[in-house]
Amino acid sequence: MSNVLCTIRQLSITYGKDATQPAALRDVSLDLIEGERLAIIGESGSGKSTLARAIAGLLPEGTSVRGKIDWPSRSELPRPGRDIGFVFQDPTASLNPVLPIGEQIAEGARRHLGIGWKEAYEIALDLLHRVRIPHPEKALKAYPHQFSGGQRQRIAIAAAISARPSFLIADEATSALDMVVQAEIVSLLDELVRENGMTMLFITHDLALASGFADRVAIFKGGHLVEQGPIRTVLAAPQTAYARSLIANHLDLSSPPLVGRDTPQ
Ligand SMILES: Nc1ncnc2c1ncn2[C@@H]1O[C@H](COP(=O)(O)OP(=O)(O)OP(=O)(O)O)[C@@H](O)[C@H]1O
């Protein structure tokens, strides 16, 4: 687990051309390691989604970008949708309300894997099983509104990985869900990422949620990367006052993480 997937160096990002606009990210340097689960933690507006958009090449036109993002093991930039899958906070925004969910999941596989609809629907069916949607055969033909919020997020996850991306970005993917469903979705993501050997960027404001799941953590504040390291090291011995306060305020270290780890150290 030591190949570097992506190197980010001195990355500064300002939206729009207005030089007086505060930077959304300032001088961020960070490596993403192949196969790892990296949690990006920070309060609202700290630059987490901006980092994800920059990595995925999805910043809006006119954004000023300084610094470098390199993919050392790739000959071309990863393609969003094909090489990078996304799961967002609100599954209703990523699912089309008037298309059956089977078609929506199959479409990613068909378009990006160069296969026909029949094979793509087989992938969709398999994914509906894997994300544990009840009666998957029937569910293929159902519409998003026929599912619960947690189920819709499972369907959005299936759609995000149907083209078999090697890198998955989950941006506040569980924030809109209640705690029990949050833990289920995190556990599902954990399972899928392990099974598919994906690298994952897990963006959240919830350190407790990330603590049982991520390998490493990067903590952002006001566009700065204030601390990064293996999650256990950061939790046990935070180096900055900000990380210490986050841990003190948001994480009761005496309680077990929401998702169990199989390899206690
Ligand atoms: N498209 C945009 N145009 C202008 N400013 C933006 C845009 N997107 C984000 N910003 C600004 O950039 C800063 C960082 O925003 P960003 O969405 O990256 O933070 P975040 O940590 O992901 O926040 P949240 O947890 O609320 O999603 C904020 O000040 C935000 O207002």
Short-list 149, 109, 145, CA closest to 127: 109
Q: Is residue 130 in contact with ligand 1, taking CB distance under 6 Å? A: no
Instruction: Compute the average pLDDT of residues 17-29.
Output: 88
Q: Is the pLDDT of residue 250 over 90?
A: no
Q: Give the pLDDT confidence of 110-160 residue by residue, as tens digits.
A: 999 999 999 999 999 999 999 999 999 999 999 999 999 999 999 999 999
Q: Give the pLDDT confidence of 152-187 residue by residue, as tens digits.
A: 999 999 999 999 999 999 999 888 788 888 888 888
Query: Atom 25, ligand 1: which residue's CA is nearest?
Result: 44
Mean pLDDT of the chain: 90
Q: Is the pLDDT of residue 195 over 70?
A: yes
Distance between Cα 25 and ligand 1 center (Å): 9
Q: Is residue 104 in contact with ligand 1, taking CB distance under 6 Å? A: no
- Structure letter (DSSP) for residue 168: E
Interface confidence, given as ipTM, is 0.97
Q: Is residue 46 in contact with ligand 1, taking CB distance under 6 Å? A: yes
* Confidence at residue 257, expressed as pLDDT on a 0 to 100 scale: 53
Count the alpha carbons within 13 Å of 119 in the hemisphere toward its beta carbon: 9
**Cβ-based neighbours of 145, under 8 Å, separated by 6 or more:** 97
Q: How far apart are CA 33 and CA 43, in angstroms?
A: 24
Instruction: Compute the average pLDDT of residues 50-78.
Output: 94
Per domain, the residue ranges of the chain are: 97-162
More confident residue, 21 or 140: 140
* Confidence at residue 94, expressed as pLDDT on a 0 to 100 scale: 85
Query: Atom 26, ligand 1: which residue's CA is nearest?
Result: 44
Please say whether the dihedral angle defined by the alpha carbons of residues 69, 237, 244 and 176, taken in this order, is positive or negative.
positive
